[in-house]
């Protein structure tokens, strides 16, 4: 039997949610009439199940694991931006930006986009604008990571949304990471901004639905 794997950093969030729901279920059962407490308790139980499911970690195979040219999606979601832009935090040069927006029903665990060494990491506290807001990439709480291998550099940001209040990132500068392994989690609605070299072969366009690990966003040059 295959059990759902839960993100290791999310058990506390799940426990707090369950405790709050348990108290509400007790109060509903104790102080509301039967015709009301049955639907209320049912909704709360469904919510408890949803919170647990929300923090699931899918078991996925990275395509062509030996191919270090491939850049796969950091997150599940919808591609909302594919454009040339100047990355001013670390790379300080023109790149192709690919942004993926996650809604409440997407997997929120994140995965390394390439195999390579972590060359940069920084956490930025900030606001909680809607994740698809144009300024959320700069103003919202986010973490920034750059990875490098023999084909170039890939820079990405985990960006909090209106309801996301915690970003978990496993980046450690100098450490070698492997495409498809988990690199962190963003709790609730959020976004990933990923930057690849101008000469990378981009494989997605705005509106595409992508899956972390499995969807190829770009191919790095030789």
Edge-to-edge order in the sheet of strand 182-186: 109-111, 182-186, 167-169
- Alpha-carbon gap, residue 10 to 117, rounded angstroms: 26
Catalytic residue, candidates 99, 137, 190, 215: 190
Strands 109-111 and 142-149 come out as unpaired
d(CA 113, CA 211): 12
Residues 122 and 220: their CA atoms lie apart, in Å, by 24
* Cβ contact 212:57 at 8 Å: no
190 as an active site residue: the answer is: yes
> What element of type H or E holds 83?
strand 77-87
Which residues make beta-bridge pairs with 146? 120, 155
Catalytically annotated residues: 190
């Amino acid at each position: 039997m295959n059990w759902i794997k839960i993100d290791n950093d999310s058990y506390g969030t799940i426990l707090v949610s369950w405790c709050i729901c348990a108290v509400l279920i007790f109060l509903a059962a104790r102080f509301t009439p039967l015709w009301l407490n049955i639907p209320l308790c049912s909704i709360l139980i469904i919510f408890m199940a949803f919170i647990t499911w929300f923090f699931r970690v899918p078991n996925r195979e990275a395509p062509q694991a030996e191919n270090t040219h491939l850049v796969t999606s950091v997150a599940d979601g919808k591609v909302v931006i594919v454009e040339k832009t100047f990355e001013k935090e670390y790379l300080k040069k023109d790149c192709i930006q690919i942004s993926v927006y996650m809604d409440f029903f997407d997997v929120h665990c994140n995965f390394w986009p390439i195999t390579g060494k972590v060359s940069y990491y920084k956490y930025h506290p900030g606001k909680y604008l809607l994740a698809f807001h144009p300024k959320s990439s700069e103003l919202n709480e986010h973490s920034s990571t750059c990875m490098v291998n023999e084909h170039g550099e890939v820079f990405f940001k985990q960006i909090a949304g209106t309801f996301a209040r915690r970003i978990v990132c496993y980046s450690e500068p100098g450490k070698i990471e492997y495409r498809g392994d988990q690199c962190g989690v963003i709790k609730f609605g959020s976004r990933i901004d990923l930057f690849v070299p101008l000469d990378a072969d981009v494989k997605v366009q705005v509106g595409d639905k992508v899956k972390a690990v499995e969807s190829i966003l770009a191919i790095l040059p030789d």
